[in-house]
């Protein structure tokens, strides 16, 4: 059950709150993401850096963990904020890895708020690899 109105202000507040809890001692670039699920839940996540950079968790990864920890479903609306040190809070787009994660857990019409406007996942990850490529 998806609401008829995009919950952008609620998602912005949730992403900003998540960003405030980010662990980014190395890059000083904190990230917070938020989404509304297919059943109307708001979920969020923050980046969690690691001295072994390759095992750093992006905000979208921790958010998808929350998606499944709280009942599963798909993502209907999504946005992501970034902030370098004490700089301005900025609407950012996900990295390539996270675009793939969003694609895997998207609802039929996932809407993503970016600095250039509202886009679909196909705009951020055209010709994506997914379950359709595995015959599942």
Catalytic residues: 60
Between CA 83 and CA 31 the distance in angstroms is 7
Residue recorded with tokens 């196909």: 122
Question: What are the residue ranges of helices labelled H in the chain?
Answer: 8-20, 59-69, 96-104, 121-124
Between CA 31 and CA 58 the distance in angstroms is 8
């Amino acid at each position: 059950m998806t609401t008829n109105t995009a919950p952008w202000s609620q998602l912005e507040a949730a992403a900003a709150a998540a960003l405030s809890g980010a662990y980014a001692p190395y890059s000083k670039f904190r990230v917070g993401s938020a989404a509304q699920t297919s059943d109307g839940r708001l979920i969020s996540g923050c980046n969690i850096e690691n001295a072994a950079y390759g095992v750093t968790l992006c905000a979208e990864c921790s958010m998808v963990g929350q998606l499944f920890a709280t009942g599963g479903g798909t993502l209907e609306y999504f946005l992501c904020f970034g902030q370098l040190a004490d700089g301005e809070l900025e609407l950012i787009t996900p990295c390539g890895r996270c675009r793939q994660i969003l694609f895997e857990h998207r609802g039929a019409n996932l809407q993503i708020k970016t600095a250039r406007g509202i886009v679909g996942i196909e705009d951020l990850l055209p010709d994506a690899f997914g379950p359709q490529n595995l015959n599942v």
